[in-house]
Amino acid sequence: MSRSGDADAVTAAAEPENQLDAGDPFDAADVRTLQRKSVGVLGGSQILGGVAVAGSLPAGALIAESISGSEAAAGLAQTFGVVGAALLALPLARVALSRGRRAALAGGYFLGSLGSIIVIVGAVYRSLAIVYAGCLLVGVASAAGLQARYAATDLASANRRARSLSIVVWGATIGAVAGPNLLDVSGRWAQSLGLPPLAGPYLVAAVVCAVTVGLLLVFLRPDPFRESLRLRGDVDSGVSRPRIRDGIEHLKNRPRAVLGIGAVAIGHVAMVMVMVMTPVHMAHVDVSLQLIGLVISVHVAGMYALSPLVGMAVDRFGRLTVIGAGAVILLTACVVSGLAPADDVVTLGIGLFLLGLGWSCTLIAGSTLVTDEVDPPERPAVQGLSDLTMNVAGALGGVVAGVVVWLASYQVLTAVAAIPVVALAVWASIPACRRHSNTRSM
């Protein structure tokens, strides 16, 4: 996929930095100022949300295991979080359509804060059902974090759309690193309040999610989605009575948008399948927890740390080019990880880093392609559908990964994970997906 053959790169580069309707009182400089402010606020919310979600996930599993004594119950705690993110992706999108991004994102984090409190109650009363209910709502904060990346594109020009999105994705790096490292400190805080130590991360999550709600409500003004509609003259375009199925209907004649959703979902499912079973694979040969944690940390770095560079590449070389590059990187990751002995920490670290980087490429390029190809009033609905597809794919990938390793081996798993990635590469080469449609840029 050469740069010259990627029409979206040429089109984006040729478009002016911001397109406004004639006679609008805002000029391009005003829009750029609003965009920088929106990205800054969204990036801050992503950092805070990342602390809440990343810190609470391992604690939820440990709480469930301490109550039930079952590793299967521990895994279900994380599963409920994924289910919560999937179930609320479309409702949050509907709120964004009718009331704007600010209300949708703040609502998601409010439910995350409420869910954290419910988990604490479940830990105190040792009720597995209450813990699972709380984990379900905490997953909604994860859904809000995913939709924040799309909010960063509402006021972005076409030739800077991926960079704006990637900056918000990068904000998750800080949260993903800081969250788990607060386990000990938060545990002592919980003990000082007479709560179980494992409730500590959820205390942090409850407070941090509440702060994020305040940040969004106070500073994400004007609302980027509604402002983008106003600048285009689409305020009265029927968005006050949105229907999600309209967004699904909109995809029928948008093969590139469907490809974008597919790229996000396939990159995610391949990443989840290999990532979730790598610690198990290493533990079978008694690799220390510290070294397993190091490999996973390197993987997280691959997912987030280079996202601004990935965003620049998407804007510079085109969406399809980076999707293709992501597929190649994911395939390389599967080969490297599959050939590495279980105790070869260095090689597995390289494989997992590439796995994260390939995921970053497909996520950022695919998400940008979805935004490019869908008309602004329909974007939140289609973007919500994209996140729903991504979360469902990840949940299924985790289940399939466990079954494959149980029936065969980790090496077979990496080969199975490569199959949808190959399909993505073939899909992206279809001529209908390579033709750029004339969507409006803002």
- Predicted pLDDT at 21: 38
3-state secondary structure of 23: coil
Distance of CA 374 to the CA centre of its chain: 19
Q: Residue range 420-424: average pLDDT?
A: 97
Superfamily of domain covering 22-232:
MFS general substrate transporter like domains (1.20.1250.20)
Who wins on pLDDT, 197 or 442? 197
Output the average pLDDT for the chain.
85
Would you say 273 and 397 are in contact if contact means Cβ atoms under 8 Å apart?
yes
Collect all residues with Cβ–Cβ distance below 8 Å to 56 and sequence separation of at least 6.
116, 119, 138, 179, 201, 202, 204, 205
Q: 203 pLDDT exceeds 80? A: yes
pLDDT digits 0-9 by tens, 79-128: 788 888 888 888 898 898 888 999 999 999 999 999 999 999 999 999 99
DSSP H helices in 100-241: 101-125, 128-151, 161-178, 183-192, 200-219, 224-232
Cβ atoms of 49 and 178 within 8 Å: the answer is no
80, exposed or middle or buried, with CB in 10 Å at 0-12, 13-18, 19+? buried
Take residue 152 and report the two structure tokens written for it: 């960063």
Per-residue pLDDT band for 218 (boundaries 50, 70, 90) equals very high
* Contact predicate 327/425, CB 8 Å: yes
Which residue in the block uniquely carries the two structure tokens 């209907």? 249
> Which residue did the predictor score with more confidence, 50 or 240?
50
What pLDDT sits at residue 8?
Answer: 57
Query: Would you state the structure tokens that stand for residue 287, as one six-digit string?
Result: 């690799």
**Candidate CATH numbers 1.20.1250.20, 1.10.8.100, 3.40.50.300, 2.60.40.10; the one for domain 1-13+244-442:** 1.20.1250.20
Side chain identity at residue 408, one-letter code:
A
- Identify the pLDDT of residue 19: 45
Beta strands in 326-391 (DSSP E): none
For residue 241, the Cα-to-chain-centroid distance in whole angstroms is 27
Q: In Å, how far are 176, 290, 357, 360 from 305, measured between CA atoms?
A: 11, 21, 9, 9
Q: How far apart are the first and last CA of the chain?
A: 26
**For residue 137, what are its two tokens?**
């709502």
In angstroms and rounded to an integer, the radius of gyration of the C-alpha atoms of the chain is: 21
Position 322 scores a pLDDT of 97
> In the predicted model, what is the mean pLDDT of residues 357-371?
96
pTM of the model: 0.82
Higher pLDDT, 275 or 181: 275
* Residue 17 binned pLDDT confidence (cut-offs 50, 70, 90): very low
Element holding 239 (H helix, E strand): none
Q: Quick one: average pLDDT of 171-191?
A: 80
Q: Are 25 and 96 in contact (CB under 8 A)?
A: no
> CA-CA distance, 419 to 204, in Å (whole number)?
40
Residue type at position 256: R
Task: Give residue-wise pLDDT tens across range 324-362.
Answer: 999 999 999 999 999 999 999 999 999 999 999 999 999
CATH 1.20.1250.20 domain extents, the chain: 1-13+244-442, 22-232
- What does the block give as tokens for 327? 């597929």
Q: Tell me which amino acid residue 180 is.
A: P
| Confidence band for 271, pLDDT divided at 50, 70 and 90 | very high
Q: Of all helices (H) and strands (E), which one includes residue 271?
A: helix 255-283
- 31, 147 in Cβ contact below 8 A? no
pLDDT of residue 14 exceeding 50, the answer is no
- Give the pLDDT confidence score for residue 15 in this predicted structure: 43
382-406 tens-digit pLDDT: 888 888 899 889 888 888 888 898 8
Q: Which of 29, 5, 6 is closest to 18 using CA atoms? A: 29
Distance CA 32, CA 29 (A): 5
- 8-state DSSP, 436: P
SS3 285: coil
Which amino acid, one-letter code, is at 413? Answer: L
CB 257 within 8 A of CB 370: yes
Residues across the chain:
442
Which range is least confidently modeled, 122-126, 182-186, 223-227, 343-347?
182-186
Asked whether the beta carbons of 358 and 329 are under 8 A apart, the reply is yes
Mean pLDDT of 157-180: 84
Question: In this structure, is the dihedral angle defined by the CA atoms of residues 135, 141, 147 and 148, taken in order, positive or negative?
Answer: negative
For every residue of 135-164, DSSP letters joined together read HHHHHHHHHHHHHHHHHTTTT--GGGHHHH
Query: How many other C-beta atoms lie within 10 A of the C-beta of residue 135?
Result: 30
Tokens of 64: 């469930």
